[in-house]
């Protein structure tokens, strides 16, 4: 008997019909002899609708109250799903994040897990019942309800899988797995059978929305096998694990070790439209100035992605520093830098929110010469200008104009022979989650 944790996103439980369909899959998994724990997101666009509703009440809702409001979406889903499963003759019980033992810090809106104590979930499973847990939420040490931020249900599922020592964590979405690019932009994208934690971390950090970054980080830390698949089909999805050769099904024989010499160099192309660029113009080029700038940025709570510093002009001793950050972090960061302009000594700030980031990810890139030349040559041939470049051992990222991003993704995908010969990829519900 295997212990399986399953997570269903909002598009998988968007209405009553979808909830009944998901319930049948869960019941079938249970009847196959598995213990089952399910994590569920809010139905469809419920979270966005609740945010809009709060905005109609006040432009600045208290974060504590906003967390209480937003967690209601998952509670609706969990109770309805438990009803649907019970109606199929399989016993099920629903739990909030607090009841499930998901302990967090006290940061409302983007809390981080500090402990997982799933006693009630374990007891429910031992009684032969399916445990349904509301994703995206937990409870702080002061007994306040908290939310984990976007993608928090993925993190909930992986954390429970680790806490329960589950055999596999299945993340159900509206696509058949992890693809070499977003199939909405590249219909010829190919499904990846297996990908390492490190590759998936780079893909998720670079904008691939099929799996939340924090969930991948948690899975790698606790060695939780994650199987990304569609709730709309029975197709085998993508295994995210420590190596390329682990088995997907915990009840099946281990897959034969893949020949790493023949494995593709490139795993996929990711893109991100959620970032903006700030350029600090006329920065004194002396020790400590950059450090002070980024201390201010950190104090504003911004998450920095890419950083580029120009060579200083010899006749002025001044340089420019550009960095990218999420749109949501931009207002506070600009305000913090402007407030300390005299201390920092820069001339001005430039803000650009019309950028897009493209990232090429593959574990074998560093040991294969010519990858960068091929990437930049493909962008040149497509007439796309590059504004910033960042690299790691398994990733090359570039920033370009937002309106050129789709063309850039398609050009790179084709240049690295990632297009599938099996027809177009299927997106069942349209959101990718």
Tell me the average confidence (pLDDT) per consecutive run of 10 residues in the chain, 433 residues long. Answer: 94 94 97 97 94 95 96 97 98 97 94 95 97 97 93 95 96 92 92 93 89 93 95 91 56 43 71 96 92 95 91 81 94 96 94 96 79 94 95 92 96 93 71 44
pLDDT for res 221: 95
pLDDT for res 426: 72
Inter-residue contact 22 to 9 (CB < 8 Å): no
Please tell me the pTM assigned to this model: 0.84
Buried b (16+ CB within 10 A) or exposed e, 97-116: bbbbbbbbeeebebbebeeb
pLDDT for res 429: 64
Considering only CA atoms, which of 142, 23, 143 is closest in space to residue 90? 23
pLDDT for res 244: 56
Neighbouring C-beta atoms of residue 245, cutoff 10 Å: 16
Q: State how far Cα 369 lies from the chain centre.
A: 30
Specify the residue for token string 């509206």. 174
Beta carbons within 8 Å of 59's beta carbon, 6+ residues apart: none
pLDDT for res 246: 41
Inter-residue contact 74 to 136 (CB < 8 Å): yes
Residue 66 is classified by DSSP as H
Beta carbons within 8 Å of 274's beta carbon, 6+ residues apart: 207, 326, 327
**C-alpha to C-alpha distance for 91 and 27, rounded to whole angstroms:** 9
Specify the residue for token string 């207002």. 331
pLDDT for res 151: 86
The DSSP element (H or E) to which 48 belongs, if any, is helix 46-57
Sign of CA dihedral 110, 113, 119, 121: positive
The DSSP element (H or E) to which 21 belongs, if any, is helix 16-31
pLDDT for res 393: 86
Q: At what angle do helices 152-163 and 213-222 cross, to 10 degrees?
A: 10
pLDDT for res 314: 66
Beta carbons within 8 Å of 291's beta carbon, 6+ residues apart: none
- β pairing state of 194-196 and 35-40: unpaired
The DSSP element (H or E) to which 92 belongs, if any, is strand 92-95
Backbone φ and ψ for 428, nearest 5 degrees, come out as -80, -35
Inter-residue contact 323 to 303 (CB < 8 Å): no
**C-alpha to C-alpha distance for 10 and 23, rounded to whole angstroms:** 14
Backbone φ and ψ for 426, nearest 5 degrees, come out as -105, 130
Inter-residue contact 235 to 176 (CB < 8 Å): yes
pLDDT for res 433: 44
Q: What strands, in cross-sheet order, belong to the sheet with 268-272?
A: 268-272, 355-361, 395-401, 388-392
CA distances from 75 to 46, 96, 133, 136, 211 (A): 11, 7, 8, 10, 22
Inter-residue contact 302 to 333 (CB < 8 Å): yes
Structure token digits, residue 238: 């993508």
**C-alpha to C-alpha distance for 294 and 359, rounded to whole angstroms:** 24
**C-alpha to C-alpha distance for 224 and 39, rounded to whole angstroms:** 16
Structure token digits, residue 256: 């034969």
Neighbouring C-beta atoms of residue 387, cutoff 10 Å: 17
Residue 129 is classified by DSSP as P
**C-alpha to C-alpha distance for 203 and 209, rounded to whole angstroms:** 9
pLDDT for res 17: 96
């Amino acid at each position: 008997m295997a212990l399986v944790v399953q997570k269903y996103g909002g598009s998988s439980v968007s209405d009553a019909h979808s909830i009944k369909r998901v319930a049948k899959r869960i019941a079938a998994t249970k009847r196959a002899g598995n213990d089952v724990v399910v994590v569920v997101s809010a139905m469809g666009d419920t979270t966005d609708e609740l945010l809009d509703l709060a905005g109609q009440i006040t432009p600045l809702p208290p974060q504590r109250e906003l967390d209480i409001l937003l967690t209601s979406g998952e509670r609706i889903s969990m109770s309805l799903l438990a009803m649907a499963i019970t109606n199929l003759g399989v016993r099920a019980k629903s739990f909030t994040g607090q009841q499930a033992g998901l302990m967090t810090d006290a940061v409302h809106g983007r809390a981080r897990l500090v402990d997982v104590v799933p006693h009630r979930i374990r007891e429910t499973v031992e009684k032969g019942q399916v445990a349904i847990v509301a994703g995206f939420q937990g409870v702080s040490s002061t007994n306040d309800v908290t939310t984990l931020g976007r993608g928090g249900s993925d993190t909930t599922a992986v954390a429970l899988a680790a806490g329960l020592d589950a055999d596999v964590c299945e993340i159900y979405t509206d696509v058949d797995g992890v693809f070499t690019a977003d199939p909405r932009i590249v219909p010829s994208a190919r499904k990846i059978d297996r990908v390492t934690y490190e590759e998936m971390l780079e893909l998720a950090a670079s904008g691939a929305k099929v799996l939340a970054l924090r969930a991948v980080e948690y899975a790698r830390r606790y060695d939780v096998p994650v199987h990304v698949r569609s709730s709309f089909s029975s197709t085998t999805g993508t295994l995210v694990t420590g190596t390329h050769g682990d088995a997907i099904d915990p009840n099946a024989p281990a897959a034969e070790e893949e020949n790493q010499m023949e494995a593709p160099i490139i795993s996929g192309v990711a893109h991100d439209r959620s970032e903006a660029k700030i350029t600090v113009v006329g920065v004194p080029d002396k020790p400590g100035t950059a450090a002070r700038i980024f201390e201010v940025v950190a104090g504003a709570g911004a998450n920095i992605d890419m950083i580029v510093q120009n060579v200083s002009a010899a006749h002025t001793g001044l340089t420019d520093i550009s960095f990218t950050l999420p749109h949501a972090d931009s207002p506070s960061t600009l305000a913090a830098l402007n407030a300390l302009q005299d201390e920092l000594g820069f001339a001005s700030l430039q803000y650009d929110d019309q950028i897009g980031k493209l990232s090429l990810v593959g574990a074998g890139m560093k040991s294969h010469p010519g990858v960068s030349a091929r990437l930049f040559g493909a962008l040149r041939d497509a007439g796309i200008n590059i504004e910033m470049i960042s690299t790691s051992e398994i990733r090359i990222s570039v920033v370009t104009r937002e309106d050129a991003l789709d063309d850039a993704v398609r050009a790179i995908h084709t240049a690295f022979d990632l297009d599938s010969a099996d027809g177009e990829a299927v997106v069942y519900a349209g959101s990718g989650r």
